[in-house]
């Protein structure tokens, strides 16, 4: 039995508290994320998927329940404190990278995650080989643009850089928030393949939100369906084998 790297116990989030529009988004969520889990998450619009990531990431606080990291209660820690073990890639390629800095500088910055940030040019030079090799694993020419300002990259290259930055320090948990959704089909598939390769080869722990049911079934070792702020289904690798996109779709109905 794997030990959970992250655990949510009865997590509730309530917005607009005390007003007529008070809403409970997550309704007492229980979730154990084991080391090496690669979980795909699907659910209708408004099911609470991003809220789940916000609550794990510390951008939103749980109104009830607990969040444990390696058994330690982190419920009341800040987003910044959680960056020491957690990283997130958003849908928007503009988030997650500094536009005016070069690809290599952004990567160096990412190696300082959770630490005091000092850019030391000498360190950039000595890391260039490693960074270039890492960039080449994304299969989209990023390795030829190491000294280019990030704002001048294509959306796919920028998103690939965000992913590399999120994984460069080997966080305990990576949150992928529809990170390929804003890309064209070819670029999106390329990034998904690179993502999958990196996560499985390096045995990283990741959660990936997607609206593509085929992708949800193809990648990862576990699939969660969120509905109305609750976990409707949690399939392990074995159970997933008998699922099809059509069967999965039935969880969205009603």
Ligand X SMILES: Nc1ncnc2c1ncn2[C@@H]1O[C@H](COP(=O)(O)OP(=O)(O)OP(=O)(O)O)[C@@H](O)[C@H]1O
Give the shortest CB-180-to-ligand X separation in angstroms.
14
Distance, CA of 234 to CA of 31 (rounded, Å): 9
Q: Residue numbers of the site for ligand X (CB under 6 A)?
A: 15-16, 23, 25, 43, 45-51
Nearer to ligand X, 23 or 76 (CB): 23
Nearer to ligand X, 15 or 119 (CB): 15
Give the shortest CB-209-to-ligand X separation in angstroms.
7
CB 170 within 8 A of CB 202: yes
Distance, CA of 82 to CA of 140 (rounded, Å): 30
Nearer to ligand X, 91 or 132 (CB): 91
Give the shortest CB-230-to-ligand X separation in angstroms.
12
CB 130 within 8 A of CB 169: no
Please list the residues that pair with 4 across neighbouring strands. 34
Give the shortest CB-161-to-ligand X separation in angstroms.
23
Give the shortest CB-55-to-ligand X separation in angstroms.
9
Nearer to ligand X, 52 or 168 (CB): 52
CB 177 within 8 A of CB 89: yes
Give the shortest CB-226-to-ligand X separation in angstroms.
6
Nearer to ligand X, 31 or 135 (CB): 31
Residue 212: phi and psi, rounded to 5, are: -95, 110
Nearer to ligand X, 173 or 226 (CB): 226
Distance, CA of 79 to CA of 82 (rounded, Å): 5
CB 43 within 8 A of CB 52: no
Distance, CA of 235 to CA of 246 (rounded, Å): 15
HSE-up of residue 159 (Cα within 13 Å, Cβ side): 26
């Amino acid at each position: 039995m794997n030990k959970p790297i992250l655990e949510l116990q009865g997590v509730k989030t309530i917005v607009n508290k005390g007003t007529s529009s008070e809403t409970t988004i997550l309704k007492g969520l229980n979730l154990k994320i084991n080391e090496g889990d690669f979980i795909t998450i699907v659910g209708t619009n408004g099911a609470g998927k991003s809220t789940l990531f916000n609550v794990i990431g510390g951008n939103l606080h749980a109104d009830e329940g607990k969040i444990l990291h390696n058994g330690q209660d982190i419920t009341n820690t800040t987003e910044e404190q959680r960056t020491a073990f957690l990283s997130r890639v958003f849908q928007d390629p503009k988030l997650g990278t500094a536009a005016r800095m070069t690809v290599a500088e952004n990567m160096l910055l990412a190696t300082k995650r959770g630490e005091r940030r000092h850019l030391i040019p000498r360190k950039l030079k000595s890391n260039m080989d490693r960074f270039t090799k890492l960039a080449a694993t994304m299969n989209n020419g990023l390795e030829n643009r190491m000294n280019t300002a990030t704002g001048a990259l294509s959306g796919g290259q920028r998103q690939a850089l965000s992913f590399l930055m999120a994984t460069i320090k080997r966080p305990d948990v990576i949150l992928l928030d529809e990170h390929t959704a804003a890309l064209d089909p070819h670029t999106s598939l390329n990034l998904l393949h690179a993502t999958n390769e990196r996560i499985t080869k390096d045995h990283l722990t990741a959660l990936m939100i997607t609206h593509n049911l085929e992708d949800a079934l193809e990648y990862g070792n576990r699939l969660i369906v969120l509905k109305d702020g609750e976990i409707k289904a949690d399939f392990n690798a074995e159970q997933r084998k008998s699922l099809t996109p059509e069967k999965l779709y039935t969880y969205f109905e009603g």
